[in-house]
Amino acid sequence: MRRDLEQVLDEYLVLLARDGSRPALEQLVGRWSPRLQRHAARTLGDREAARDVVQDTWVAALRGLARLDDPARFPAWLYAIATRRCVDLIRTRGRARRLSEGLEAQPPGPPRIDADIGLDLTAALARLPADQRLVASLFYGEGLDIEAVAVVAGVPVGTVKSRLHHARSALKTFLEGDSS
């Protein structure tokens, strides 16, 4: 297994941060916050809420960093925390909506796209079921390998492959214009 310098640097920073190095922790936060922000924004569809999720993710990560046995697993571990925070927020929003409306919340329909707008990958991703959107976002958007996506999503590798296959098919259909 060949690791690139970025991975080695992250592992080194994790080890230093676990030992209490504030500069190492600040570097980790600086290196990973933009990635977490993109992931949370894609998952939630709300940049402001994504910022809050990223802050909550770092709080939880700092509390649990000492329990992270393998620094090489840091990216998957961090994305898993962020994903859980996103899911928690989505659930909370759903409950609040049901209480305020007095009805069972219905998931929003797919976004409408005018023909003259053209290719809109964000809208295409938003049309995917949540489980497919998550794995596609992590695999393509964040560059995690299939094993890391499996850890983040909490599913077997085969399930990740299946969800990626279905996501690719749905995206292809949508982006080719057959969004029926």
CA distance 128 to 110: 9
Q: Are 135 and 40 in contact (CB under 8 A)?
A: no
Q: d(Cα 106, Cα 93) in Å, to the nearest integer?
A: 12
Kindly report the backbone phi and psi dihedral angles of residue 26, in degrees, each rounded to the nearest multiple of 5, phi listed first. Answer: -60, -35
Q: What is the pLDDT of residues 34-75, one digit of tens each?
A: 999 999 998 888 899 999 999 999 999 999 999 999 999 999
pTM (two decimals)? 0.68
Enumerate residue ranges in the chain where pLDDT < 70.
1-3, 94-120, 178-180
